[in-house]
Structure 1
Amino acid sequence: MTGPSLSQLEEARRALDAPLFADLAGDAAVSFEFFPPKTEKMEEQLWQAIETLAPLGPRFVSVTYGAGGSTRERTHATVARIASETNIPAAAHLTCVEASKAEIEEIARAYWDAGVRHIVALRGDPPQAGEAFRPHPDGYANAAELTAGLKRIAPFEISVAAYPECHPSSPSVQADLDNLKAKVDAGADRAISQFFFSPETYFRFRDRAAAAGIVAEIVPGILPVSNVATTRKFAGLCGAAIPPWMDRLFEGLDDHPAARQLIAATIAAEMCRRLYAGGVRHFHFYTLNRAELAYAICHLLGLRPDSHATEKAA
């Protein structure tokens, strides 16, 4: 009778190791991204998500801004409400698209007056998909210029975007890294990465950034996948690769939403655990205005609710 093969022994060793998520210290910090709601029903869903995630004490929550400023008013209303009704620091996305410097200053001052002290400064996508970005004749040419301009208006905390797999419109990986350094040199406090599906992608990017002299924190952006078709569309827009094994895991689950949720949480949680093992202690979740997957992953990472984190102090 032959003994177990080497591959079987390796699998047994893994299975007998301590569980991946056993007794984590709960020392990870998190932040969450939402988009402004279009309808009353979507607004209700958004606030349910915020109420669910708020007790985890996020460092901040951010609210996105549509192409060409198409959600400007809704973004402002959502961020202002978070700032006034919760204890969570609220961050507003702001882009250069189709806005003059004077318009951006007006928007930024309105945020400051509403108690918002954190801006996510982005170049932004053109209003029409597939078009090349064209700066407003009286506007900022890119996110580095926008960051410097915002710092002149008020002492905002500023986050910018980073692209571990290179922005699709960048001429090269080095040019993309140079652009990130320009944003940090212009005053950005941190970079938030576009989503990715391999821990090594993030770690290689973090090492390249450090070698390029980028000292700001680079926070990994995590997208728990609940809809593969939607994720594929997002990935195409931002240059993120979806590994073939991940495609295969979701095959045959179109009519099984609960199974999709379970698999999405498992994949994202395992990646976060591997990032945590590599020293990452801040995770930024792209929630798509749903709390369940992000909450489950945070729980696995050791975070527990804080009863004082939800209500605005009287």
Structure 2
Amino acid sequence: MQIDIIPSDTAGLELSAEFFPPKTEKAARSARAASEALRRFGLTFCSVTYGAGGSNQTGTLDTAIDLAEGAGSEPAAHLTAVGAARETVDAVAQGFWQAGIRRIVALRGDPQGNGGRYQAHPQGYANAAALTEGLRRLHEFDISVAAYPEKHPESPSVDADIDNLKAKFDAGADRAITQFFFDPEIYLRFRDRLAARGVWRSVVPGILPIRNLEQVQKFAAACEATIPETVLARFERCTSDADRRNVAIDQAHALCERLMRHGVRDFHFYTLNKADMTAAILDRLIGSADADRAMTAAAAMAARPAEA
């Protein structure tokens, strides 16, 4: 597989996006169009989820290659440990490698069935840290893992959750991508807690534009993410779809811009296979970053001593 990687001109930002495997030909064409719409942003990679309950690895592989070609980026495939023996998971990873995929998002996976707690397969990887370690033994994959700024719902404490993330880094993860959040202070406090524990690895904010508030509220309830009352109030005042779209873009842009003011330069967007909001947010972000760079350069020039 040979994909032409588009060079990035995004004001020093490193960007990536997540998609899911489409279920129909029409949906596949729509997802491809979305990836092509993001091509001009020079994404580092497009990741594709593994399918509900760890199913559909073939769809993940095919979609990852197709959308990466559309975006001019590297492909990244999600891989979960749930419900499978190590040999099975390893075989899927080998298939990814043979297809030219060098990036994997390694995840434990959600419990199978409706509800209940996760149970590892008797011959499977116990968790994402074990999966990461196993992938490291197979090939030199670039491995991303998950992080939870508000704590994973199954973790007994924030400290235990950080221990788990640290174990994934110790096993060989290159970076973590966070669950979505809507308050910049949640991420900044999380970053401070990681630093206090000696974790200095890359933790990339996961950004979810609120395209459909009711849907996002369900997502948030499932992972125990907080939607601030101020954000909810802004949506309540909307009287049209256009208003809601503008609020969603404004909210996500303000979130990213605040993080940029605190040194964040990597962002991962949960696109839900649509590009318009992500593109609008990135256009604003790149403009903000360009302005910051111009102001910094101007200040540096002003600080230089005048030539005699």
Change (3 A) 1:246 1:85: closer
> What are structure 2's unaligned runs of at least 5 residues?
1-9, 289-308
How far apart in 2 are the matches of 1:287 and 1:114? 24
| TM-score, normalised relative to structure 2 | 0.87
SS in 2 for 1:301: helix
Cα contact 1:56–1:303 (8 A) shared by 2: no
Cα contact 2:144–2:177 (8 A) shared by 1: yes
How far apart in 2 are the matches of 1:86 and 1:265? 21
Shift of 1:203: 0.6
- Whose relative contact order is higher, 1 or 2, with alpha carbons under 8 Å and at least 6 apart? 1
Q: Choose the corresponding residue for 1:173, options 130, 136, 158.
A: 158
What one-letter code is carried by the residue in structure 2 that aligns with 1:101? R
Shift of 1:84: 5.9
Query: How many residues in Structure 1 have an aligned counterpart in Structure 2?
Result: 279
Shift of 1:67: 3.2
How far apart in 2 are the matches of 1:228 and 1:71? 28
Pairing 1:293–2:281 present: no
What one-letter code is carried by the residue in structure 2 that aligns with 1:259? D
Cα contact 2:38–2:71 (8 A) shared by 1: no
2:302 maps to what in 1?
Answer: none
2:125 maps to what in 1?
Answer: 140
Cα contact 1:96–1:123 (8 A) shared by 2: yes
How far apart in 1 are the matches of 2:258 and 2:71? 32
C-alpha RMSD of the superposition: 1.6
Pairing 1:256–2:243 present: no
Change (3 A) 1:101 1:219: same
2:264 maps to what in 1?
Answer: 280
More deviation, 46-55/241-250: 241-250
Pairing 1:76–2:66 present: no
How far apart in 2 are the matches of 1:82 and 1:223? 19
Write the deviation string for residues 190-249 of structure 1: whole angstroms up to 9, x where unpaired: 000111111111011011111112121000010110111111111112221011121121
2:216 maps to what in 1?
Answer: 231
1:164 maps to what in 2?
Answer: 149
SS in 1 for 2:273: coil
Pairing 1:187–2:172 present: yes
2:24 maps to what in 1?
Answer: 39
How far apart in 2 are the matches of 1:85 and 1:298? 18
Shift of 1:56: 0.7
Q: Choose the corresponding residue for 2:40, options 55, 58, 64.
A: 55
Write the deviation string for residues 169-203 of structure 1: whole angstroms up to 9, x where unpaired: 10111000000000000000000011111111101
Q: Percent identity?
A: 52
Shift of 1:83: 5.1
1:309 maps to what in 2?
Answer: none
| TM-score, normalised relative to structure 1 | 0.85
Runs of 4+ in 1 over 6 A off after TM superposition: none
SS in 1 for 2:38: helix
Cα contact 1:32–1:285 (8 A) shared by 2: yes
SS in 1 for 2:61: helix
What one-letter code is carried by the residue in structure 2 that aligns with 1:284? H
Shift of 1:28: 1.6
Write the deviation string for residues 270-294 of structure 1: whole angstroms up to 9, x where unpaired: 1111111111001110011110111
Change (3 A) 1:105 1:84: farther
SS in 2 for 1:302: helix
What one-letter code is carried by the residue in structure 2 that aligns with 1:164? P
How far apart in 1 are the matches of 2:15 and 2:39? 11
Shift of 1:126: 1.4
